[in-house]
Structure 1
Amino acid sequence: MRQSLVLIAGAVLAASAWAHNCPNEMKAIDAKLATKPSLSKEQMEKVTKLRKEGEEAHKAGKHDASMKELTEAKKILGI
């Protein structure tokens, strides 16, 4: 029983840490965008859209969706 509680507590803490990483991901994307990366117009539009959707999902408490969008944007940016 005690082991189960420890595992559950660990999972909750890990999920919480993951959820609070969204702002760091957005900062990394913003920093890369500030360097004017050499992307096509379509890629830049996609990154901008993903960044915006990621922030909106984060604000709505949908952290898994936020991280998915932000991770995709980072892949396009090469970070």
Structure 2
Amino acid sequence: MKKLLTVLLFSASSLAFAHNCPNEMKTIDAKLSSASGVSAENMSKVKELRAEGEKLHKEGKHAESMKSLQEAKKLLGI
């Protein structure tokens, strides 16, 4: 019974990550269009991390995607 519960909780958390990746990408995209005070170097890194996050999301690697997207948000000051 504990194994079943663990599997269900893990599945639910994976789905939550899967559905949150697009929201994180939208947040980054919105900030990119109005970002000021972000260096060109950081802006380039943000775009790379955002693209990597989308690629990982499409591959089903949601935890890695979220990590990349969170780093992009951090650089943007979100």
TM-score range, shorter chain: 0.7 to 0.9
Are the equivalent residues in 2 in contact too, given 1:37–1:77 (CA < 8 A)? Answer: no
Are the equivalent residues in 1 in contact too, given 2:35–2:76 (CA < 8 A)? Answer: no
Segment drifting more, 10-19 vs 66-75 = 10-19
**TM norm structure 1:** 0.87
Unaligned ranges ≥5, structure 2: none
Task: Tell me the SS of whatever aligns to 1:20.
Answer: helix
TM superposition outliers: structure 1 runs of 4+ over 3 Å: none
Which structure has the larger Rg over C-alpha atoms? 1
Tell me how large the CA RMSD over aligned residues is.
1.3
Give the paired residue count: 78
Unaligned ranges ≥5, structure 1: none
Match of 1:7 in 2: 6
State the 1:19 CA deviation.
1.9
**TM norm structure 2:** 0.88
Match of 1:35 in 2: 34
